[in-house]
Structure 1
Amino acid sequence: MSEWKKLIKGIIPPIITPMNEDESVNETELRNQVKRLLKAGVHGIFPLGTNGEGYILSEKEKELILTVVVDEVKGQVPVYAGTGCISTKETIKLSQTAQAIGADVLSVITPSFAQASQEELAEHYEAVAKAVKLPIVLYNIPARTGNTIAPATVERLSHIDNIAGAKDSSGNFDHMLQYIERTKDEDFAVLSGNDSLILWNLLAGGTGGIAGCANVFPENMVKVYECFLAGELEKAREYQDNIRSFRNCFQYGNPNTIVKMAVEMLGYPVGKCRKPFCRISEEGVQAVRKVLDENKTKNIC
């Protein structure tokens, strides 16, 4: 397990899925985005996540995207594959497919829509872990799925050999802190899924973050982690604070839509999010453009 914890760390962008006007996957631009993120020094790349619109992609599209990313990364950093589905059966199938394609880590979001008990969640993850050989990162994002992985359940699952970490996107720092506290005797990685809490995650003993903002400001987000490692905490705090103005734009719409629109505004033909999750008010568009312009003058990229 120690080797897996060493793997699950740093700034891992949940890479957006570029799309053409007809909403088909833009493979050429996907490869370009992988190259862009690698050049910025990211520590992993995570296709099929929330920012990658994994919730709205078909099985064939997921296989295509993961195949392209694995091929383009070429082993330079770990590839995390989002393989969580509503049913245990589907999750196992997609997880095994990701393993066969060449993913290094699986990110498994909780089942959604129907409410699950903690026992049901534990049994779900236990079954997936048994069916694959890759390290698994639990993914807690209750605002989107309606299900929360309780700290006690994370502690229970941390004893399973290939359940190697957890990503908390609850936005509740104490919740993430309990993940860290309850697994400190295990070789277990805890990642922040909230970009504003990455530095605080690291200070508390976590290992980094799966950062949607890294699609927009990859170099800045990498510096949060690298400055922390170097003991340059004031600089790390400065880079952490740099994304506040952009995150304030999330009030104007779905964060996934805001992030993808921002990358398009930076000059990359990534297209819009798949309908119906694709609209932002003109006020929101102008707010994002203003933040990007201001950050450009500050060399935040």
Structure 2
Amino acid sequence: MSEPLFRGVMPALVTPFRDGAVDQDTYVALIERQIAGGVHGLVPVGTTGETSTLSHDEHRLVVDLCIKTTAGRVPVIAGAGSNSTREAIELVKHAKAVGADAAMVVTPYYNRPSQEGMYAHYAAINEAVQLPVIVYNVPSRTGVDISNDTLGRLSKLPNIVGVKDATGDMTRPTMQRLLCGQDWVMLSGDDPSALGYMAHGGHGSISVSVNVAPDLVSTFYNAALSGDWKTALYWQDRLIRLHKALFTDASPAPTKFALAHLGLCSEDARLPIAPASEAARKEVLAALHDAGIV
């Protein structure tokens, strides 16, 4: 059996801001910290990167800067989703043009397409751009849940190569292996349940927590990938409070608070994301202590 196209842990990178603009120098420093911490790839302009409040020019800037900074050291999967198929195609075309290794395309949100509509959305992208595409399924945010059967159909298309699954449903990886084949890339999008996802055959994760603790989270995934479940369980227990704390308020406010506490970036986020609440801050600080980060 061949190795999956993508494996291991990849941060859903935060986009740092200062004075209302993308803080490019800090973004470069955050990327370097992730690579030094042992991550297996990078994912700019996903949900944690506040893609929904970036302008198109800022979106392209962040993707460009990530690819240039990374310089081929690890793969880059560029966020490129939209609830407009035409716009998603343009973003995937840009990702390909600037050298991304793949694009992450979220299921169309708000307009709540049918399963057939979602199939047609990804099929159109597959036809328009020759770049590997990871389907991002996060029904808690988008209002739609792409089914295993639809993913099975999509897996037959040459450029639709895998999924980021943020459902926390442990039955999905097994069913998708059976429906989509052994080459289908399965990445968790839910840090608290990622140990179970890996045990059920997952290949890795696009993670929020790794923004805060790249070395620790990478160690967890290296253990899981090697089948050392005892070590993986140790790190799961040590990191679980952090996984939960980073979602005690609207993301990425708690993550940016954690990074600010570590002196790595400002807390600034774009409205409607407000600063982390006092309760969230207390939980994040306790989680950082429990994980041995501070």
Q: What code does the residue aligned with 1:158 have?
A: S
Q: CA deviation at 1:247?
A: 2.8
Equivalent-residue separation in structure 2 for 1:87 and 1:280 (angstroms): 31
Contact 2:80 2:91 in 1 (8 A): yes
Shift of 1:110: 0.7
Deviates more, 1:143-152 or 1:287-296: 287-296
Return the letter of the residue paired with 2:245.
C
Q: Distance in 1 between matches of 2:80 and 2:159?
A: 15
Aligned residue number for residue 246 of structure 1: 242
Name the CA distance, whole Å, in 2 between partners of 1:269 and 1:29. 6
Partner Cα separation in structure 1 for residue 129 and residue 247 of structure 2:
39
The answer to whether the Cα contact below 8 Å between 2:8 and 2:225 also exists between their aligned partners in 1 is no
Find the counterpart in structure 2 of residue 217 from structure 1: 213
- Residue identity opposite 1:214 in structure 2: V
Aligned residue among 181, 187, 194 for 2:183? 187
Hey, what's the Cα distance between the residues in 1 that align with 2:256 and 2:247?
Answer: 15
Name 1:199's counterpart in structure 2: 195
Aligned equivalents of 2:90 and 2:225: distance in 1? 38
Confirm whether residue 273 of structure 1 aligns to residue 269 of structure 2.
Answer: yes
Amino acid at match of 1:16: V
The within-5 A match list for 1:1-301 is 6-20=4-18, 22-183=19-180, 185-250=181-246, 252-296=248-292, 300=293
Pair 240,266 (structure 1): closer, same or farther in 2 beyond 3 Å: same
Does the CA-based 8 Å contact 1:79-1:104 persist in structure 2? yes
Distance 2:204 2:193 in 1: 9
Higher fraction of helix? 1
Q: Distance in 1 between matches of 2:119 and 2:64?
A: 29
TM-score (norm 1): 0.93
* Aligned residue type for 2:68: D
1:31-87 CA-partner distances (Å, limit 9, x unpaired): 000000000010000001111111211110011101111010000000010101110
Q: Percent identity?
A: 34
Matched-pair contact (CA < 8 Å) for 1:167–1:210: yes
Tell me which amino acid in the other structure corresponds to 1:257: A
| Distance change (3 Å), C-alpha of 1:7 and 1:175 | closer
Gaps of 5+ in 1: none
Provide the alpha-carbon RMSD of the alignment. 1.7
Contact kept in structure 2, 1:46 and 1:81, CA below 8 Å: yes
Deviations 1:211-255 (A, max 9, x none): 110001111111112112333210111112222112332563113
CA distance in 2, matches of 1:180, 1:53: 31
The one-letter amino acid paired with 2:12 is P
CA–CA separation in structure 2 for the residues paired with 1:228 and 1:147: 30
Whether contact under 8 Å (1:158, 1:186) holds in the other structure is no
**Match of 1:25, as an amino acid?**
V
Q: Whole-Å Cα distance in 1 between the matches of residues 247 and 48 of structure 2?
A: 16
Q: Secondary structure at the match of 1:138?
A: strand
Q: 1:232 to 1:269 in 2, by over 3 A?
A: same
Q: Equivalents in 2 of 1:252, 1:15: separation in Å?
A: 18
Moved over 3 A (4+): none
Q: Secondary structure at the match of 1:243?
A: helix
Tell me, in whole angstroms, the C-alpha distance in 1 between the residues paired with 2:72 and 2:47: 23
Distance, in Å, in 1 between the alignment partners of 2:280 and 2:9 is 27
Name structure 2 gaps, 5 residues minimum.
Answer: none
